[in-house]
Amino acid sequence: MPKVAYSEEDREQIREALVTTALDLMARQGIQHTTVEQVYRAVGISRTFFYTFFPTKEDLIAETLYLQQPKILAFARKLMADPATSWRECVTRFLSACCYGEQNGIAVLTVEEQQLLFRRLSKESYQVFREKQARLFGSILEIFGIKASPARISLFTNLSLTIMVIRRAIPQTLPLFVPEAADETVAFQIRAIVDCLESFKEQDAASQ
């Protein structure tokens, strides 16, 4: 007979399995191409039971993005801890890995996915997302040895997301862009961001 009652511990384990499975699928095949059905079938529960954990797919997406944040920070720390690699090279590798997320197990939202996500998230969920996003980018700056002021966090967030979005948007969403130059465009933008961050680092050193 099917199980009709779950303890809180059972539910927590199932919820964790749903988020972990979703992140794995989204990182490999993209958020847009990952369906709720793929997730709940992989975990072995019904569609109805899935929706007792997450009211919408967008709520699940937000949780997967939260789940990968510690992994992103650990990756940044690992890069910065390598004595054989320069500061510029560490930051460049980090940004490049995020831009090519599907090759590195990192889920990255496309423009369409961002629009859909924030249309369907509640006001409260949206606020939580923005707060966690700011903490993530602030922590990354600190790992890079840069003081994370609110203005710097906002700028770094926008610059980083811009290259990730553009890289994912060429050519489907941005058909007038030249796809053959997509990788060069990303590399140029990464260099510009690293230059900007290096100037922050120099400002901090000069103020000490």
| CA neighbours closer than 13 Å in the CB half-sphere of residue 40 | 16
What pLDDT score does 66 carry?
92
Q: Quick one: pLDDT at residue 1? A: 37
- Name the band, by pLDDT with cuts 50, 70 and 90, for residue 4: low
How many structural domains compose the chain? 1
Residue 186 domain flag: yes
What pLDDT score was predicted for residue 3? 52
27 in any annotated domain: no
With a pLDDT cut of 70, the percent of the chain lying above it is: 98
| 45 touches 16 (CB < 8 A) | no
Quick check: is 13 in a domain?
Answer: no
Query: CA–CA separation, 55 vs 7, rounded Å?
Result: 20
Residue 7 lies in a domain: no
Residue 74 lies in a domain: yes
160, part of any domain: yes
Looking at the domain assignment, is residue 40 inside a domain?
no
pLDDT tens track for 178-191:
999 999 999 999 99
Mean pLDDT value of segment 70-84: 95
| Residue 103, domain extent | 57-207
Q: How far apart are the first and last CA of the chain?
A: 69
Quick one: which H or E segment has residue 130? helix 123-143
Within-domain flag for 126: yes
What CATH number did the domain enclosing 123 receive? Answer: 1.10.357
